[in-house]
Copies of this chain bind each other. A is one copy, B any other.
Amino acid sequence: MPHLTSAVATPSRAPEIQLDPQGMERLRGLVRDHADALVKAFYDVLLEDREAQGFLHHSIVQERLSPSLRTWLIDLFAPGLDVEGKSFIARQTKIGEVHARIKIPMHLVMAGAAVLKGRIADLLADDEARFDQLRLVGERIDAALLLMSQSYVKGTMNRARMDEAYRLFSLDQDIHFERESQRASLMEWSQKTLFRILGAGPNEATSALGRSPFGLWIRHRADFLFEASPHLERLNQAIDRIDEDLLPRIDAGDRAESLTALQAGVEEIAFLLNEMFQGLAGLEGGRDPLTRTLNRRFLSSILSREIGFANANQTPLSVLLLDVDHFKRINDEHGHPAGDEVLRQVAEAVTENVRPSDFVFRYGGEEFLIVLVETTLQQAVAVAERTRQALEARDIKIGGAERLRVTASIGAAEHGGHPDENYLIKTADEALYRAKQAGRNRVEQNG
Protein backbone atom coordinates (compact mmCIF):
# COMPACT_ATOMS: atom_id res chain seq x y z
CA MET A 1 0.00 0.00 0.00
CA PRO A 2 1.46 3.38 -0.93
CA HIS A 3 2.30 5.94 1.75
CA LEU A 4 2.39 9.68 2.04
CA THR A 5 5.75 9.84 3.75
CA SER A 6 8.66 10.39 1.38
CA ALA A 7 12.08 8.74 1.24
CA VAL A 8 15.29 10.34 2.44
CA ALA A 9 17.16 12.36 -0.16
CA THR A 10 20.42 11.26 -1.73
CA PRO A 11 21.74 14.31 -3.54
CA SER A 12 23.77 13.73 -6.64
CA ARG A 13 26.97 15.64 -7.23
CA ALA A 14 29.17 16.26 -10.23
CA PRO A 15 32.61 14.58 -10.35
CA GLU A 16 35.31 16.84 -8.95
CA ILE A 17 37.97 18.53 -11.04
CA GLN A 18 41.47 17.13 -10.51
CA LEU A 19 44.42 19.43 -9.76
CA ASP A 20 48.02 18.25 -9.90
CA PRO A 21 49.57 17.92 -6.42
CA GLN A 22 51.59 21.14 -6.78
CA GLY A 23 48.60 23.18 -7.91
CA MET A 24 46.62 21.78 -5.01
CA GLU A 25 49.38 22.55 -2.51
CA ARG A 26 49.77 26.09 -3.84
CA LEU A 27 46.02 26.65 -3.50
CA ARG A 28 46.00 25.34 0.02
CA GLY A 29 49.03 27.41 1.04
CA LEU A 30 47.38 30.51 -0.33
CA VAL A 31 44.16 29.90 1.60
CA ARG A 32 46.16 29.22 4.76
CA ASP A 33 48.28 32.35 4.33
CA HIS A 34 45.22 34.55 3.87
CA ALA A 35 42.89 32.66 6.20
CA ASP A 36 42.45 35.55 8.65
CA ALA A 37 41.54 38.03 5.95
CA LEU A 38 39.17 35.55 4.32
CA VAL A 39 37.44 34.81 7.62
CA LYS A 40 37.07 38.52 8.27
CA ALA A 41 35.61 39.10 4.81
CA PHE A 42 33.05 36.34 5.45
CA TYR A 43 31.87 37.72 8.77
CA ASP A 44 31.85 41.29 7.51
CA VAL A 45 29.12 40.19 5.12
CA LEU A 46 27.11 38.57 7.93
CA LEU A 47 27.52 41.46 10.31
CA GLU A 48 26.42 43.95 7.66
CA ASP A 49 23.03 42.28 7.74
CA ARG A 50 20.49 43.82 10.10
CA GLU A 51 18.92 40.47 10.88
CA ALA A 52 22.26 38.88 11.71
CA GLN A 53 23.49 41.72 13.90
CA GLY A 54 20.95 40.80 16.54
CA PHE A 55 22.39 37.38 17.19
CA LEU A 56 26.01 37.69 16.02
CA HIS A 57 27.71 40.14 18.29
CA HIS A 58 31.26 40.91 17.39
CA SER A 59 32.73 39.34 20.50
CA ILE A 60 30.97 36.05 19.81
CA VAL A 61 32.22 36.06 16.25
CA GLN A 62 35.75 36.77 17.40
CA GLU A 63 35.86 34.24 20.15
CA ARG A 64 33.96 31.31 18.81
CA LEU A 65 32.83 31.40 15.23
CA SER A 66 35.89 32.84 13.50
CA PRO A 67 38.29 30.09 14.64
CA SER A 68 35.76 27.44 13.50
CA LEU A 69 35.42 29.03 10.07
CA ARG A 70 39.20 29.31 9.76
CA THR A 71 39.68 25.59 10.39
CA TRP A 72 36.78 24.73 8.11
CA LEU A 73 38.25 26.77 5.28
CA ILE A 74 41.76 25.31 5.51
CA ASP A 75 40.39 21.77 5.82
CA LEU A 76 38.25 22.37 2.75
CA PHE A 77 41.41 22.47 0.62
CA ALA A 78 43.08 19.41 2.09
CA PRO A 79 44.63 17.47 -0.81
CA GLY A 80 43.01 14.10 -0.09
CA LEU A 81 39.57 15.47 0.77
CA ASP A 82 36.65 13.34 -0.43
CA VAL A 83 33.54 15.51 -0.74
CA GLU A 84 31.41 12.39 -1.01
CA GLY A 85 33.06 10.75 2.00
CA LYS A 86 31.30 10.14 5.29
CA SER A 87 33.36 12.50 7.41
CA PHE A 88 32.95 15.45 5.02
CA ILE A 89 29.20 14.87 4.81
CA ALA A 90 28.90 14.51 8.60
CA ARG A 91 30.84 17.70 9.22
CA GLN A 92 28.92 19.94 6.82
CA THR A 93 25.62 18.42 7.94
CA LYS A 94 26.48 19.25 11.52
CA ILE A 95 27.29 22.86 10.59
CA GLY A 96 23.88 23.20 8.91
CA GLU A 97 22.20 21.85 12.05
CA VAL A 98 24.03 24.32 14.26
CA HIS A 99 23.13 27.21 11.93
CA ALA A 100 19.47 26.18 12.12
CA ARG A 101 19.66 26.07 15.90
CA ILE A 102 21.38 29.42 16.32
CA LYS A 103 19.38 30.93 13.44
CA ILE A 104 22.14 31.96 11.06
CA PRO A 105 20.11 32.16 7.84
CA MET A 106 21.35 29.96 4.99
CA HIS A 107 21.22 32.79 2.48
CA LEU A 108 23.67 34.79 4.59
CA VAL A 109 26.09 31.87 4.67
CA MET A 110 25.74 31.69 0.89
CA ALA A 111 26.44 35.43 0.64
CA GLY A 112 29.56 34.98 2.76
CA ALA A 113 30.65 32.00 0.67
CA ALA A 114 30.25 34.05 -2.53
CA VAL A 115 32.59 36.65 -1.06
CA LEU A 116 35.09 33.93 -0.11
CA LYS A 117 35.09 32.63 -3.68
CA GLY A 118 35.71 36.12 -5.03
CA ARG A 119 38.54 36.84 -2.59
CA ILE A 120 40.25 33.53 -3.32
CA ALA A 121 39.90 34.16 -7.07
CA ASP A 122 41.62 37.53 -6.59
CA LEU A 123 44.48 35.80 -4.78
CA LEU A 124 45.17 33.14 -7.43
CA ALA A 125 48.44 33.61 -9.32
CA ASP A 126 48.00 34.58 -12.97
CA ASP A 127 49.16 31.28 -14.48
CA GLU A 128 47.90 28.23 -16.35
CA ALA A 129 46.65 26.47 -13.24
CA ARG A 130 44.30 29.16 -12.02
CA PHE A 131 41.29 28.19 -14.12
CA ASP A 132 41.22 24.69 -12.63
CA GLN A 133 42.01 26.06 -9.19
CA LEU A 134 39.03 28.38 -9.43
CA ARG A 135 36.82 25.48 -10.51
CA LEU A 136 37.97 23.43 -7.56
CA VAL A 137 37.37 26.30 -5.13
CA GLY A 138 33.82 26.63 -6.45
CA GLU A 139 33.18 22.90 -6.40
CA ARG A 140 34.33 22.33 -2.85
CA ILE A 141 32.55 25.34 -1.39
CA ASP A 142 29.38 24.39 -3.29
CA ALA A 143 29.59 20.78 -2.10
CA ALA A 144 29.78 22.02 1.50
CA LEU A 145 26.96 24.55 1.03
CA LEU A 146 24.70 21.92 -0.47
CA LEU A 147 25.05 19.62 2.54
CA MET A 148 24.67 22.51 4.97
CA SER A 149 21.56 23.68 3.17
CA GLN A 150 20.00 20.24 3.37
CA SER A 151 20.40 19.92 7.12
CA TYR A 152 19.72 23.61 7.72
CA VAL A 153 16.35 23.40 5.98
CA LYS A 154 15.46 20.22 7.85
CA GLY A 155 16.41 21.77 11.19
CA THR A 156 14.64 25.02 10.41
CA MET A 157 11.44 23.20 9.42
CA ASN A 158 11.48 21.22 12.65
CA ARG A 159 11.97 24.43 14.55
CA ALA A 160 9.12 26.13 12.70
CA ARG A 161 6.83 23.19 13.52
CA MET A 162 7.76 23.36 17.19
CA ASP A 163 7.34 27.14 17.29
CA GLU A 164 3.87 26.77 15.85
CA ALA A 165 3.01 23.97 18.26
CA TYR A 166 4.07 26.18 21.16
CA ARG A 167 2.14 29.16 19.82
CA LEU A 168 -1.03 27.12 19.50
CA PHE A 169 -0.44 25.62 22.93
CA SER A 170 -0.15 29.13 24.40
CA LEU A 171 -3.41 30.14 22.75
CA ASP A 172 -5.04 27.05 24.17
CA GLN A 173 -4.24 27.95 27.77
CA ASP A 174 -6.75 29.46 30.12
CA ILE A 175 -6.97 32.82 28.45
CA HIS A 176 -9.57 34.26 30.82
CA PHE A 177 -7.44 33.52 33.84
CA GLU A 178 -4.39 34.99 32.13
CA ARG A 179 -6.26 38.18 31.24
CA GLU A 180 -7.49 38.75 34.78
CA SER A 181 -4.14 38.01 36.29
CA GLN A 182 -2.36 40.45 34.02
CA ARG A 183 -4.98 43.11 34.64
CA ALA A 184 -4.42 42.63 38.37
CA SER A 185 -0.67 42.83 37.83
CA LEU A 186 -1.04 46.16 36.01
CA MET A 187 -3.31 47.57 38.72
CA GLU A 188 -0.93 46.46 41.44
CA TRP A 189 1.91 48.40 39.85
CA SER A 190 -0.34 51.42 39.39
CA GLN A 191 -1.48 51.36 43.02
CA LYS A 192 2.04 50.97 44.39
CA THR A 193 3.21 53.85 42.24
CA LEU A 194 0.38 56.10 43.41
CA PHE A 195 1.05 55.30 47.08
CA ARG A 196 4.68 56.13 46.59
CA ILE A 197 3.85 59.42 44.89
CA LEU A 198 1.38 60.36 47.60
CA GLY A 199 4.04 59.66 50.16
CA ALA A 200 1.81 57.19 51.96
CA GLY A 201 3.68 54.09 50.95
CA PRO A 202 7.12 52.82 51.86
CA ASN A 203 9.91 54.92 50.50
CA GLU A 204 10.78 52.76 47.49
CA ALA A 205 12.79 53.81 44.46
CA THR A 206 10.74 54.56 41.32
CA SER A 207 9.97 51.27 39.68
CA ALA A 208 9.32 51.43 35.95
CA LEU A 209 6.23 49.70 34.57
CA GLY A 210 8.43 48.04 31.96
CA ARG A 211 10.47 46.47 34.78
CA SER A 212 7.41 45.29 36.71
CA PRO A 213 6.02 41.74 36.46
CA PHE A 214 3.43 43.17 34.06
CA GLY A 215 6.10 44.67 31.82
CA LEU A 216 8.08 41.42 31.81
CA TRP A 217 4.97 39.45 30.93
CA ILE A 218 4.22 41.78 28.03
CA ARG A 219 7.74 41.40 26.65
CA HIS A 220 8.12 37.65 27.08
CA ARG A 221 4.58 36.30 26.67
CA ALA A 222 2.34 38.87 25.04
CA ASP A 223 4.75 39.51 22.20
CA PHE A 224 4.19 35.88 21.27
CA LEU A 225 0.48 35.56 22.02
CA PHE A 226 -0.50 38.74 20.24
CA GLU A 227 2.09 38.65 17.47
CA ALA A 228 -0.36 39.85 14.85
CA SER A 229 -2.24 42.39 16.94
CA PRO A 230 -2.05 46.08 15.97
CA HIS A 231 -2.74 46.95 19.62
CA LEU A 232 0.53 45.54 20.90
CA GLU A 233 2.63 48.31 19.39
CA ARG A 234 0.36 50.95 20.94
CA LEU A 235 0.50 49.20 24.30
CA ASN A 236 4.30 49.15 24.19
CA GLN A 237 4.34 52.84 23.33
CA ALA A 238 2.04 53.61 26.25
CA ILE A 239 4.40 51.77 28.61
CA ASP A 240 7.36 53.69 27.17
CA ARG A 241 5.55 57.02 27.62
CA ILE A 242 4.88 56.26 31.27
CA ASP A 243 8.42 55.08 32.01
CA GLU A 244 10.40 57.57 29.97
CA ASP A 245 8.25 60.67 30.20
CA LEU A 246 5.74 60.66 33.08
CA LEU A 247 7.68 58.99 35.90
CA PRO A 248 10.69 61.29 35.56
CA ARG A 249 8.37 64.33 35.54
CA ILE A 250 6.57 63.09 38.65
CA ASP A 251 9.91 62.42 40.36
CA ALA A 252 10.93 65.97 39.44
CA GLY A 253 7.91 67.29 41.35
CA ASP A 254 5.50 68.00 38.51
CA ARG A 255 2.53 66.23 40.01
CA ALA A 256 -0.76 67.80 39.03
CA GLU A 257 -0.74 67.21 35.29
CA SER A 258 1.41 64.11 35.41
CA LEU A 259 -0.94 62.23 37.68
CA THR A 260 -3.84 62.77 35.29
CA ALA A 261 -1.67 61.61 32.43
CA LEU A 262 -0.54 58.56 34.39
CA GLN A 263 -4.12 57.56 35.11
CA ALA A 264 -5.02 57.96 31.43
CA GLY A 265 -1.96 55.89 30.44
CA VAL A 266 -2.82 53.01 32.75
CA GLU A 267 -6.42 53.04 31.55
CA GLU A 268 -5.31 52.95 27.95
CA ILE A 269 -3.05 49.96 28.65
CA ALA A 270 -5.88 48.11 30.41
CA PHE A 271 -8.16 48.82 27.47
CA LEU A 272 -5.62 47.62 24.90
CA LEU A 273 -4.88 44.49 26.91
CA ASN A 274 -8.56 43.65 26.98
CA GLU A 275 -8.91 44.27 23.25
CA MET A 276 -5.98 41.97 22.49
CA PHE A 277 -7.42 39.13 24.58
CA GLN A 278 -10.79 39.60 22.90
CA GLY A 279 -9.10 39.32 19.54
CA LEU A 280 -7.75 35.89 20.46
CA ALA A 281 -11.16 34.27 20.85
CA GLY A 282 -12.08 32.20 17.84
CA LEU A 283 -9.07 33.43 15.90
CA GLU A 284 -7.42 30.07 15.52
CA GLY A 285 -10.31 27.76 14.74
CA GLY A 286 -9.54 24.94 12.38
CA ARG A 287 -13.10 25.03 11.11
CA ASP A 288 -15.26 27.81 9.79
CA PRO A 289 -17.58 28.53 12.75
CA LEU A 290 -20.64 29.03 10.55
CA THR A 291 -20.49 25.99 8.27
CA ARG A 292 -18.19 23.63 10.24
CA THR A 293 -16.21 23.05 7.03
CA LEU A 294 -12.41 23.24 7.14
CA ASN A 295 -10.68 26.59 7.46
CA ARG A 296 -9.04 27.68 4.25
CA ARG A 297 -5.70 28.13 5.97
CA PHE A 298 -5.25 24.33 5.95
CA LEU A 299 -5.93 24.05 2.22
CA SER A 300 -2.31 24.33 1.17
CA SER A 301 -1.10 21.71 3.69
CA ILE A 302 -3.76 19.23 2.66
CA LEU A 303 -3.83 19.77 -1.09
CA SER A 304 -0.08 19.73 -1.39
CA ARG A 305 0.07 16.44 0.54
CA GLU A 306 -2.58 14.93 -1.68
CA ILE A 307 -0.81 16.12 -4.84
CA GLY A 308 2.40 14.53 -3.57
CA PHE A 309 0.49 11.31 -2.89
CA ALA A 310 -1.16 11.30 -6.33
CA ASN A 311 2.15 11.94 -8.09
CA ALA A 312 4.03 9.33 -6.10
CA ASN A 313 1.38 6.63 -6.47
CA GLN A 314 -0.11 7.55 -9.83
CA THR A 315 -3.59 7.75 -8.33
CA PRO A 316 -6.23 10.21 -9.57
CA LEU A 317 -7.16 13.32 -7.59
CA SER A 318 -9.87 15.89 -8.29
CA VAL A 319 -11.22 19.09 -6.83
CA LEU A 320 -14.59 20.80 -7.02
CA LEU A 321 -15.13 24.51 -6.65
CA LEU A 322 -18.73 25.34 -5.73
CA ASP A 323 -20.29 28.79 -5.75
CA VAL A 324 -23.81 29.53 -4.49
CA ASP A 325 -25.86 31.14 -7.27
CA HIS A 326 -27.17 34.68 -6.68
CA PHE A 327 -25.99 34.68 -3.08
CA LYS A 328 -25.80 38.45 -2.94
CA ARG A 329 -29.45 38.71 -3.90
CA ILE A 330 -30.42 36.23 -1.12
CA ASN A 331 -28.58 38.35 1.41
CA ASP A 332 -30.09 41.56 0.10
CA GLU A 333 -33.67 40.30 -0.11
CA HIS A 334 -33.83 38.06 2.97
CA GLY A 335 -31.12 39.43 5.26
CA HIS A 336 -27.85 38.05 6.58
CA PRO A 337 -29.35 35.44 8.93
CA ALA A 338 -31.04 33.88 5.88
CA GLY A 339 -27.72 34.00 4.00
CA ASP A 340 -26.01 32.25 6.89
CA GLU A 341 -28.64 29.52 6.94
CA VAL A 342 -28.19 29.03 3.19
CA LEU A 343 -24.43 28.58 3.65
CA ARG A 344 -25.02 26.03 6.43
CA GLN A 345 -27.41 24.09 4.22
CA VAL A 346 -25.04 24.16 1.25
CA ALA A 347 -22.22 22.86 3.46
CA GLU A 348 -24.51 20.09 4.68
CA ALA A 349 -25.49 19.10 1.14
CA VAL A 350 -21.83 18.96 0.13
CA THR A 351 -20.72 17.02 3.21
CA GLU A 352 -23.49 14.44 2.79
CA ASN A 353 -22.33 13.69 -0.73
CA VAL A 354 -18.62 13.11 -0.10
CA ARG A 355 -16.70 10.37 1.77
CA PRO A 356 -14.99 10.60 5.18
CA SER A 357 -11.65 10.69 3.39
CA ASP A 358 -12.51 13.80 1.32
CA PHE A 359 -11.95 17.38 2.46
CA VAL A 360 -14.47 20.24 2.36
CA PHE A 361 -13.23 23.82 2.79
CA ARG A 362 -14.99 27.14 3.12
CA TYR A 363 -13.02 28.77 0.33
CA GLY A 364 -14.57 32.22 0.14
CA GLY A 365 -17.75 34.03 1.16
CA GLU A 366 -20.13 31.70 -0.68
CA GLU A 367 -17.56 29.38 -2.21
CA PHE A 368 -16.60 25.88 -1.11
CA LEU A 369 -13.65 23.85 -2.30
CA ILE A 370 -13.83 20.06 -2.13
CA VAL A 371 -10.76 17.82 -2.43
CA LEU A 372 -11.79 14.35 -3.67
CA VAL A 373 -9.01 11.82 -3.03
CA GLU A 374 -8.39 8.94 -5.47
CA THR A 375 -11.13 10.27 -7.70
CA THR A 376 -11.13 10.64 -11.49
CA LEU A 377 -12.67 13.60 -13.30
CA GLN A 378 -15.64 11.46 -14.34
CA GLN A 379 -16.28 10.40 -10.75
CA ALA A 380 -15.80 13.98 -9.54
CA VAL A 381 -18.39 15.24 -12.01
CA ALA A 382 -20.81 12.58 -10.74
CA VAL A 383 -20.26 13.75 -7.13
CA ALA A 384 -20.75 17.36 -8.25
CA GLU A 385 -23.95 16.54 -10.12
CA ARG A 386 -25.35 14.58 -7.14
CA THR A 387 -24.54 17.49 -4.85
CA ARG A 388 -26.07 20.03 -7.24
CA GLN A 389 -29.32 18.05 -7.41
CA ALA A 390 -29.42 17.46 -3.64
CA LEU A 391 -29.07 21.18 -3.03
CA GLU A 392 -31.69 22.10 -5.66
CA ALA A 393 -34.17 19.76 -3.97
CA ARG A 394 -33.72 21.26 -0.49
CA ASP A 395 -36.38 23.40 1.11
CA ILE A 396 -34.42 25.87 3.17
CA LYS A 397 -36.30 27.31 6.15
CA ILE A 398 -35.33 30.87 6.88
CA GLY A 399 -37.12 32.01 9.99
CA GLY A 400 -40.87 31.45 10.44
CA ALA A 401 -42.64 29.75 7.57
CA GLU A 402 -40.50 31.30 4.86
CA ARG A 403 -38.69 28.81 2.64
CA LEU A 404 -36.05 29.26 0.00
CA ARG A 405 -34.70 27.25 -2.92
CA VAL A 406 -31.07 27.77 -3.83
CA THR A 407 -28.81 26.39 -6.53
CA ALA A 408 -25.08 26.28 -7.03
CA SER A 409 -22.63 26.22 -9.92
CA ILE A 410 -19.73 23.79 -9.73
CA GLY A 411 -16.43 23.54 -11.55
CA ALA A 412 -14.62 20.18 -11.54
CA ALA A 413 -10.96 19.59 -12.36
CA GLU A 414 -8.66 16.60 -12.19
CA HIS A 415 -5.02 16.87 -11.16
CA GLY A 416 -2.85 16.30 -14.22
CA GLY A 417 0.55 15.91 -12.60
CA HIS A 418 1.43 19.58 -12.15
CA PRO A 419 3.11 19.87 -8.76
CA ASP A 420 1.72 23.33 -7.96
CA GLU A 421 -1.55 23.22 -6.06
CA ASN A 422 -2.51 26.68 -7.28
CA TYR A 423 -2.61 25.31 -10.81
CA LEU A 424 -5.26 22.74 -9.92
CA ILE A 425 -7.40 25.32 -8.14
CA LYS A 426 -7.08 27.67 -11.09
CA THR A 427 -8.28 24.93 -13.43
CA ALA A 428 -11.35 24.26 -11.28
CA ASP A 429 -11.99 28.00 -11.11
CA GLU A 430 -12.01 28.23 -14.90
CA ALA A 431 -14.59 25.43 -15.05
CA LEU A 432 -16.69 27.21 -12.42
CA TYR A 433 -16.52 30.39 -14.45
CA ARG A 434 -17.86 28.55 -17.49
CA ALA A 435 -20.66 27.02 -15.40
CA LYS A 436 -21.66 30.53 -14.30
CA GLN A 437 -21.45 31.85 -17.86
CA ALA A 438 -23.57 28.98 -19.17
CA GLY A 439 -26.51 29.96 -16.96
CA ARG A 440 -25.66 28.70 -13.43
CA ASN A 441 -27.06 25.67 -11.53
CA ARG A 442 -24.81 23.35 -13.49
CA VAL A 443 -21.53 21.45 -13.41
CA GLU A 444 -18.70 22.13 -15.83
CA GLN A 445 -15.44 20.28 -16.09
CA ASN A 446 -12.00 21.29 -17.15
CA GLY A 447 -9.59 18.40 -17.41
Interface of A toward B, CB cutoff 8 Å: 1-14, 17, 45, 48-52, 54-57, 59-60, 64, 98, 101-108, 110-111, 113-115, 117-118, 121, 130-131, 134-135, 138-139, 142-143, 145-147, 149-150, 152-153, 156-166, 168-169, 172, 181-182, 185, 210, 213, 215-221, 223-224, 227, 236-237, 239-240, 286, 297-298, 300-302, 304-309, 311-312, 355-357, 373-374, 417-422
Asked whether B146 lies within 8 Å of A13 as measured between CB atoms, the reply is: no
Q: Which residues of B contact A4 (CB under 8 A)?
A: 219-220, 223-224
Of B5, B48, B57, B160, the residue contacting A417 (CB under 8 A) is B57
Of B45, B134, B210, B373, the residue contacting A12 (CB under 8 A) is B45
Asked whether B153 lies within 8 Å of A156 as measured between CB atoms, the reply is: yes
Of B104, B146, B298, B355, the residue contacting A165 (CB under 8 A) is B298
CB-CB nearest in chain B for A135: B121
Of B114, B157, B216, B357, the residue contacting A374 (CB under 8 A) is B216
C-alpha gap A94/B262 in the complex (Å): 49
Q: Which residues of B contact A10 (CB under 8 A)?
A: 49-51
Asked whether A355 lies within 8 Å of B213 as measured between CB atoms, the reply is: yes
Asked whether B220 lies within 8 Å of A111 as measured between CB atoms, the reply is: no
Asked whether B106 lies within 8 Å of A118 as measured between CB atoms, the reply is: no
Asked whether B161 lies within 8 Å of A98 as measured between CB atoms, the reply is: no
Of B220, B301, B308, the residue contacting A309 (CB under 8 A) is B220
Q: Which residues of B contact A165 (CB under 8 A)?
A: 164, 168, 286, 297-298, 301
Q: How far is the CB of A173 from chain B (nearest CB, A)?
A: 8
Copies of this chain, count: 2
Q: Which residues of B contact A185 (CB under 8 A)?
A: 356
Q: How far is the CB of A274 from chain B (nearest CB, A)?
A: 18
Q: How far is the CB of A377 from chain B (nearest CB, A)?
A: 18
Of B57, B219, B224, B357, the residue contacting A311 (CB under 8 A) is B57
Asked whether A6 lies within 8 Å of B54 as measured between CB atoms, the reply is: yes
* With A1-B236, A14-B114, A107-B146 already in contact, 7 other A-B pairs whose C-beta atoms are closer than 8 Å: A1-B237, A5-B223, A106-B106, A113-B142, A172-B286, A217-B356, A220-B357
Asked whether A301 lies within 8 Å of B131 as measured between CB atoms, the reply is: no
Asked whether B216 lies within 8 Å of A355 as measured between CB atoms, the reply is: yes
Q: Which residues of B contact A55 (CB under 8 A)?
A: 307-308, 311-312, 419
Q: List 25 interface pairs A-B (beta carbons < 8 Å), by A numbering.
A: A1-B236, A3-B223, A4-B223, A6-B54, A9-B105, A10-B50, A12-B48, A12-B111, A57-B311, A103-B304, A114-B146, A117-B138, A130-B131, A134-B134, A153-B153, A159-B301, A160-B164, A165-B301, A166-B286, A169-B286, A216-B374, A220-B309, A220-B357, A221-B356, A221-B357
Of B3, B51, B149, B158, the residue contacting A149 (CB under 8 A) is B149
C-alpha gap A34/B17 in the complex (Å): 21
Of B146, B158, B163, B305, the residue contacting A224 (CB under 8 A) is B305
Q: How far is the CB of A121 from chain B (nearest CB, A)?
A: 5
Q: How far is the CB of A164 from chain B (nearest CB, A)?
A: 4
Q: How far is the CB of A183 from chain B (nearest CB, A)?
A: 12
Q: How far is the CB of A139 from chain B (nearest CB, A)?
A: 7
Asked whether B308 lies within 8 Å of A103 as measured between CB atoms, the reply is: yes
Q: Which residues of B contact A117 (CB under 8 A)?
A: 138-139, 142
C-alpha gap A146/B8 in the complex (Å): 24
CB-CB nearest in chain B for A158: B160
CB-CB nearest in chain B for A169: B286
Asked whether A419 lies within 8 Å of B56 as measured between CB atoms, the reply is: yes
